Homo-oligomer: A and B are copies of this chain.
């Protein structure tokens, strides 16, 4: 009987590209496309050789789909395909039983290498080079409440004088806090601090994905 490979991704073009790569590793496999987590689960009702799973789909909450699938079909290796390049997401996926993690920025040879490894029963994860950059998130969460309030106002583009007025403290205190914030965030100007705060405020999903 032919092997069934399920590709779950909500980007048709990307499914097509993945399909080509799959075909070169499993030449005789039947490729089943799914554009949502629901379709992927439906496709799993019949035995499958492998599941390529996108983390960003309309009806999916990130890694929770992976959890579900691993629970219900532990025999099916799951290859996570994600736009994320965050090492924290790699390791989260690994802990949840993914067989491989492929960033969408991967090239075709890399993709084939990963799929080949999975076919042979191995795991495959991106090479992060051991020591990852220090974590912005950890740094920002080390701020004290007063420092966080001030960072919020900095981000809004207020002057120190305005921040002092808003928080009913002196400008000297604002400056003192700001100096402490810069140290903790490892930046040297209020613009960098504000950009960092803004970036991390949008990047909530990375921090949130393991707790749901």
Contacts and interface: CB of A to CB of B under 8 A. Distances in A.
Interface stretch (A92-100, A114-122, A169-177, A183-191): A183-191
A93 to B, nearest CB: 13
A176 to B, nearest CB: 18
Interface of A: 10-14, 16-18, 20-21, 55-56, 60-62, 64, 83-85, 104-108, 111, 154-155, 157, 159, 187-192, 194-195, 198, 202-212
Contact of A104 (B11, B18, B60): B11
8 contacts: A11-B105, A12-B106, A13-B18, A13-B104, A55-B209, A85-B206, A198-B198, A204-B210
B210 A207 contact: no
B212 A207 contact: no
Contacts of A85: 206
Contact of A83 (B20, B61, B206, B211): B206
